[in-house]
Amino acid sequence: MSGHGTALPMTAHKSGPLRGTASVPGDKSISHRALIFGAMAVGETRITGLLEGQDVLDTARAMQAFGAVVQQQGPGAWTVQGVGVGGFSEPADVIDVGNSGTGARLIMGTMATTPITVTFTGDASLRKRPMGRVTDPLSLFGTQAYGRKGGRLPMTVVGAAHPVPVRYALPVASAQVKSAVLLAGLNAPGQTVVIEREPTRDHSERMLLGFGAELTVEKTAEGNVITLTGQPELRPQSVAVPRDPSSAAFPVCAALIVEGSDIFVPGVSQNLTRNGLYLTLVEMGAEIEFQNPRTEGGEPVADLRVRFSGDMKGIEVPPDRAPSMIDEYPILSVVAACATGRTVMRGVKELRVKESDRIDAMARGLEACGVRVEEDEDTLIVHGLGAGNVPGGATCAVHLDHRIAMSFLVLGMAAKRPVTVDDASPIATSFPIFEGLMTGLGATLKRDL
Ligand code: S3P
């Protein structure tokens, strides 16, 4: 929901060792999509393992506003009575998607080819983020959008009454934009084609196939050519949401940098469009064992055993890996600060338009904690000090960004002096059990009253 309550400052103290099992909540991307596709199917979709974070709850409320019936049956267990492709009714009020770019962009795509008018808003962070990247391709279907300067929320979107299918080559590597176009293509006649030069998370494609849509993905010299046949009848599904690899990244990285740690993290996605951080950590010398590979909820997963890794080295992260770890650069830069030598992250300008400008937020906070960084528009370089050598002793600004808050709290668990974040409340958007889970492993986190 938009508006922001009282700030919740929190301090992480030198901790550990971290021990035990870190069972992280359901995947945020898949949780949003399960609710949205469930709302577009005819009949009852059953979801287990849904992330009950604020972002996803805001999407659930939005689906209700469009006429779907969304009900919680138990912890993580939800049902959605869908209204069918093109069956959305016009909401009686503004759709408030809170902090969630995924919610905003996917829901815009979902209603874009139905003749209804919807006004979207969000919190102060989301109202700064660009929506033109979605409304530009949606306009090709015949959708109109009227937002603030720079394509910012609040924005009113008028769905196309007579949508035409589109062919669209993504100008940015963005799964949100890809998904918005595919969702809009569902209610357009004929074939909608999306071309992505660099592969991004493929949960929408997997789920569209699961719900019975006709979709093909062809690997060509131009990249992935995704072709969707419009106006299918989507069949309701049982969706088991796997755990979120982007949330797992926090206990995993904490264990790598907190001396003496040895933790078990079950069910971490090995989906090639999501596992870039884990490849990078292994290249840096992280001690991670990938055990019991299997499929869960349609996703390849493994259990991770993670041990403190005192001699990690900085590396050059291949820029073409960015889409598969785009949400993990903040926590990677914390690990980089505790490794020896430079970690170079290039091709990361998308970080500037996330929940905050993540290059700036990490650079300022790391500097305040005594770590040398270099940055330009598209690059972040962290000069690592080696395990146990980060001074800490600073308060870092979070800018309403859950991943910035969690990253600096993890840094504080390994730094010499405590690290405070000015507001830990945004963590509830994606990882509501973060504080309890981390303290359960042995971290010292204190709310500053
Ligand atoms: C997401 C896509 C990514 C990611 C976000 C979730 C999704 O955003 O940063 O947290 O679920 O599609 P972009 O598509 O803007 O890269």
Q: Where are the domains of the chain?
A: 10-26+243-447, 28-229
Of these residues, 55, 96, 327, 423, which one is catalytic?
Answer: 327
The CATH superfamily of 10-26+243-447 is Enolpyruvate transferase domain (3.65.10.10)
Q: Report the 10 Å Cβ neighbour count for 376.
A: 10
CA of 94 to the centre of ligand 1 (A): 23
> Which of 106, 176, 204, 406 has most ligand 1 atoms within 8 Å of CB, for mutation?
176
CA of 138 to the centre of ligand 1 (A): 18
CA of 103 to the centre of ligand 1 (A): 10
Q: Could you tell me how far CA 354 lies from the centroid of its own chain?
A: 10
Q: Report the 10 Å Cβ neighbour count for 329.
A: 26
Tokens (6 digits) for 304: 């991770």
Measuring from each residue's beta carbon to the nearest atom of ligand 1, which residues come in under 6 Å? 29, 102, 174-176, 179, 201, 326-327, 350
Contacts of 350 (CB under 8 A, 6+ apart): 172, 173, 174, 322, 326
327 part of the active site: yes
CA of 301 to the centre of ligand 1 (A): 20
Look up residue 301 and give its amino acid: V
| Exposure of 239 in the CB half-sphere (CA atoms within 13 A) | 38
**Would you state the pLDDT for residue 2?**
45
Which residues are 69's β-sheet partners? 81
Which single residue is written with the structure tokens 């395990």?
387
Vertex 149 angle, CA 143 and 151, to 5°: 35
Residue 114 to residue 187: CA distance in whole angstroms: 7
Residue 49 to residue 248: CA distance in whole angstroms: 15
Asked if residue 403 lies in contact with residue 428, where contact means CB atoms within 8 angstroms, the answer is no
Q: What is the pTM of this model?
A: 0.97
Shortest-distance atom of ligand 1 to CA 175: 14
Shortest-distance atom of ligand 1 to CA 178: 14
Tokens (6 digits) for 386: 């080696």
Residue 399 to residue 408: CA distance in whole angstroms: 12
Whose alpha carbon is nearest atom 13 of ligand 1?
174
Shortest-distance atom of ligand 1 to CA 350: 16
CA of 177 to the centre of ligand 1 (A): 9
3-state DSSP call for residue 166? Answer: coil
Residue 13 to residue 414: CA distance in whole angstroms: 8
**Would you state the pLDDT for residue 149?**
95
Closest residue by Cα to residue 206 from 300, 137, 122: 300
Q: Give me the CATH code for the 28-229 domain, please.
A: 3.65.10.10
Shortest-distance atom of ligand 1 to CA 133: 15
Shortest-distance atom of ligand 1 to CA 106: 12
CA of 185 to the centre of ligand 1 (A): 19
Whose alpha carbon is nearest atom 15 of ligand 1?
174
Q: What is the pLDDT along the chain (449 residues), one digit of tens a residue?
A: 444 579 999 999 999 899 999 999 999 999 999 999 999 999 999 999 999 999 999 999 999 999 999 999 999 999 999 999 999 999 999 999 999 999 999 999 999 999 999 999 999 999 999 999 999 999 999 999 999 999 999 999 999 999 999 999 999 999 999 999 999 999 999 999 999 999 999 999 999 999 999 999 999 999 999 999 999 999 999 999 999 999 999 999 999 999 999 999 999 989 999 999 999 999 999 999 999 999 987 889 999 999 999 999 999 999 999 999 999 999 999 999 999 999 999 999 999 999 999 999 999 999 999 999 999 999 999 999 999 999 999 999 999 999 999 999 999 999 999 999 999 999 999 999 999 999 999 999 999 87
> Which of 105, 108, 174 has most ligand 1 atoms within 8 Å of CB, for mutation?
174
Whose alpha carbon is nearest atom 16 of ligand 1?
174
Residue 343 to residue 346: CA distance in whole angstroms: 10
Which single residue is written with the structure tokens 């528009």?
377
**Would you state the pLDDT for residue 4?**
59
DSSP 8-class letter at 9:
-
Same fold, 10-26+243-447 and 28-229: yes
Closest residue by Cα to residue 224 from 233, 236, 216, 213: 216
Closest residue by Cα to residue 249 from 33, 447, 430: 430
